[in-house]
Structure 1
Amino acid sequence: MTDSVYNTDNILCNFPACLRKNIEELCLNSQIGLSTVNLNDISILSNRYNNEEIVLNSYHFIIKIPYAGKRLKWEIIFDPEDFCFAPDFDFNDDQFLNNPDFETIANNIPSLTKWNLKDPTALSTVLNEFLTLYKQIQIEKLLQENIYSRYGKEYEALITEDNGIAPENIEVSIDNNTLHFLMSLKVDCSSLPEYIQPIESDHGTWYNPGKDYAHLKISILKLDGTRSNIALQLSPRLEQILGNSKNLALPDYKRDMVLSEYVSLVMKMIDNRIGMVADHFRMKKVYIANLAAACNQSMIEYDTETYNKAVFLYSVNDYNCLVTITIGSKFPQEKPLVQLSSVFCQEGKQCNENLDKYPYSPALRPDENIDKLLKYLEEAVSVFKNHRH
């Protein structure tokens, strides 16, 4: 069992047994709005039960719901006598469902009236319905109040333009005359390498965790456009490949710029960066494939995940040495690193030598560069054979 699985099971044990499937589904398999909830976003509040069975009787929770780049603290209160009854909610917001009538709930939150504790998706479904209603109220405020008229028009233009953002992919929040827009951008990651991260604890590899996403958050701090904050939230694979989102040079959001114009600039920047990374990955793959074909009888190993490295055996007059090819981030403009390693040395230890002067040109095809390298190795390995300490 991995540490992450162990920790998940450990945290789930803090919740009543009848709720664990719903909590697990909410945190591990569901999406709330554009984002996800994790187990650390849920806290159990103290209640009237104060005995050794407190874990089994916990019925009052706070969930931090991600929305438009912030966290809404929603309280969920179950009937401690019977969790099969639908829970009550306290949204800690005077502007949202402060005193709702039955018709409002029935029309907008139908899953609450059909609550079924045995359905593991019951909690995540209800939360999504409440969040949809919350979003609807925020957008109505944006479109109806004159003070926000500029950005209301820009929002409507953004969701109707051919290259705009679908309404379901935008979250809008209004907080003390500050506007927050969180947008899920269209990104095509099909040409990118997988997210790969070695796991030291079990010597394994952790591959792409979840779906890829690029979320752009625009916060309008002053309605005249003179102050704003921009942030880009990337999925683990995109952040690993494109670089830390905090270090990406985002375009300036100028005072007279409309939302759709800025979104287009950011999308173009991401697409260009993805294209560069995809080309680099493809060229590494082609180079390693050509090398493996040319050295198929002597190839010892090569990286089939990132295509950064290959090792093969090279022989000259019964002398064998290892050749390690390492491809850097500036390939093909920068030639790969080539290192010779002795299989046996008269000194009784392994020796290494980097070859810096082998022929290489980024203008040539990979097979042509590899052919020149292999011819160069014959003399280089002969010299390496007779090296002295």
Structure 2
Amino acid sequence: MNSLSPEVALSRISPELRPLLCSVVRDGRVGLDSSSCLRITDLKSGCTSLMPGPCCDRFKLHIPYAGETLKWDIIFNAIDPELPPDFIFGEDADFLPEPSELAHLVSWDAGKPECLLQLVKELLQQYHLYQCQRLRDSSRLLFEYGSLLEDPNYGHSMEIYAGRKNSWTGEFSARFLLKLPVDFSNIPVYLLKDTALDPGEDVALLSVSFEDAEATQVFPKLYLSPSIEHALGGSSALHIPAFPSGGCLIDYVPQVCQLLTNKVQYVIQGYHKRREYIAAFLSHFGMGVVEYDAVGFTKLTLLLMWKDFCFLVHVDLPLYFPRDQPTLTFQSIYHFTSSGQLYSQVQKSYPYSPRWDGNEMAKQPTAEGWRDCKSESESSLVFIIKHRGHCQGSLLAWGSALCYICCW
């Protein structure tokens, strides 16, 4: 298989056929996995060597479907480009689509650039029905399919690849690919900006592989579009539960949906809570605010003073704030480490509750005192930042026993 860039592949196609292929290569997102485009490889020509090039009129089309890649051969006739193409469906020799259901084949119009792409989509609909029929070889898998089909949340957003043989056991096996009905529209835009150009629709796909007909070995896997994976904290941020022994898809899939929905809500809530928190500090500290993240509200730096001693406090707010506790870093503006860096100390252990209100977080922090500490090689100045008054509802009740250590 020769892998070519889309533009190089198109340059080798017969000019009369090129508009049809442009639509496939550039706009060809089909099925549930909208992040993967159709690809063409193995370009060949059925013309004689006397015909001037480029004259490629046959190729292999790679189609993402249910976690597999279908490879269909498409054969045109460059000498008579008005004719519709022939298809060879790879390993699925018994796949015989119903011609009457292929409107763009029945009324083929080579002058319409989208005609081939629409025909491929119609063939995929027929292919889906073909795969569903293959589930009849397993009553258990047919039950799984039927129960999902009756649920409007999943019945129309499902791809199935059935009847494949497990390479180890030779057992009948199948894979279900479902688009999960999770709303991503309220995720803050800034979290979606660092993804690849045009990554496709924001989508979550659940793949569930049954490695035998009786469903004794079931392996689920969650796939997120690049933008959503980035927004939720990376590929390691979400772990779905194992498929329960004796469980059913119609019970398992909603659990994964709810887990993902909760994760999305945590991210949205965290954004609004961080913004509330930063606003409270801007209000209470005003001139003491050195800088802050005005887009994602993930960082804040304060310049504080106890008597005549000034120091910086860096606050890092995590993605899942307030569920996850912020990190405080105290930094001297006078003293350096042996490597030439300003001395700092990270503080993660302090009183904290995610239920505290944003405005109360920033009330009346004062430097209560200091004490000298000594080690074998250095002495340190320790500041204790303590909240004055009661702690309920106060985020800066964190400071009830925060220590800042800098080289003295």
Partner secondary structure for residue 277 of structure 1: helix
Paired position in structure 1 for 2:271: 281
Alignment of 1:154-169 (within 5 A): 154-161=144-151, 164-166=153-155, 168-169=156-157
Letter in 1 for 2:154: I
- Report the alpha carbon displacement of residue 132 of structure 1 after superposing the two structures with TM: 0.3
Alignment of 1:213-224 (within 5 A): 213-224=203-214
Partner secondary structure for residue 362 of structure 2: helix
1:193 to 183, 188, 191: 188
For residues 357 and 246 of structure 1, the distance between their equivalents in structure 2, rounded to whole angstroms, comes to: 20
For these two proteins, the number of residue pairs brought into alignment is 361
Structure 2: runs of 5+ lacking an equivalent: 165-171, 371-380, 384-405
Paired position in structure 2 for 1:337: 328
Alignment of 1:264-279 (within 5 A): 264-279=254-269
1:153 to 143, 155, 158: 143
For residues 313 and 7 of structure 2, the distance between their equivalents in structure 1, rounded to whole angstroms, comes to: 46
CA contact (8 A) 1:96 1:134 kept: yes
Paired position in structure 1 for 2:118: 125
Letter in 1 for 2:161: S
- Report the alpha carbon displacement of residue 290 of structure 1 after superposing the two structures with TM: 2.7
Q: TM-score, normalised by structure 1?
A: 0.74
Paired position in structure 1 for 2:68: 70
1:370 to 362, 367, 370: 362
CA contact (8 A) 1:335 1:360 kept: no
Deviations 1:45-65 (A, max 9, x none): 333569899873222111121
For residues 207 and 311 of structure 1, the distance between their equivalents in structure 2, rounded to whole angstroms, comes to: 33
CA contact (8 A) 1:208 1:237 kept: no
Partner secondary structure for residue 54 of structure 2: helix
Paired position in structure 2 for 1:212: 202
Letter in 2 for 1:125: Q
CA contact (8 A) 1:251 1:265 kept: no
Partner secondary structure for residue 56 of structure 1: coil
Q: TM-score, normalised by structure 2?
A: 0.71
Where is the helix percentage greater, Structure 1 or Structure 2? 1
For residues 319 and 55 of structure 1, the distance between their equivalents in structure 2, rounded to whole angstroms, comes to: 79
2:109 pairs with 1:111: no
Sort the Cα spacing of 1:298 and 1:328 in 2 relative to 1 into closer, same or farther, 3 A: same
For residues 55 and 339 of structure 1, the distance between their equivalents in structure 2, rounded to whole angstroms, comes to: 70
Paired position in structure 1 for 2:163: 175
Q: Quick check: 15-24 or 323-332, which moved more?
A: 15-24
Percent identity at matched positions? 26
Letter in 2 for 1:181: F
For residues 196 and 6 of structure 2, the distance between their equivalents in structure 1, rounded to whole angstroms, comes to: 16
For residues 348 and 237 of structure 2, the distance between their equivalents in structure 1, rounded to whole angstroms, comes to: 38
CA contact (8 A) 1:216 1:230 kept: yes
CA contact (8 A) 2:326 2:348 kept: no
Partner secondary structure for residue 138 of structure 2: helix
For residues 330 and 52 of structure 2, the distance between their equivalents in structure 1, rounded to whole angstroms, comes to: 63
Deviations 1:342-382 (A, max 9, x none): 4999xxx9835347499864353222222344x44999xx9
Paired position in structure 2 for 1:95: 94
CA contact (8 A) 1:215 1:233 kept: yes
CA contact (8 A) 1:36 1:66 kept: no
Where is the strand percentage greater, Structure 1 or Structure 2? 2
Alignment of 1:251-262 (within 5 A): 251-255=242-246, 257-262=247-252
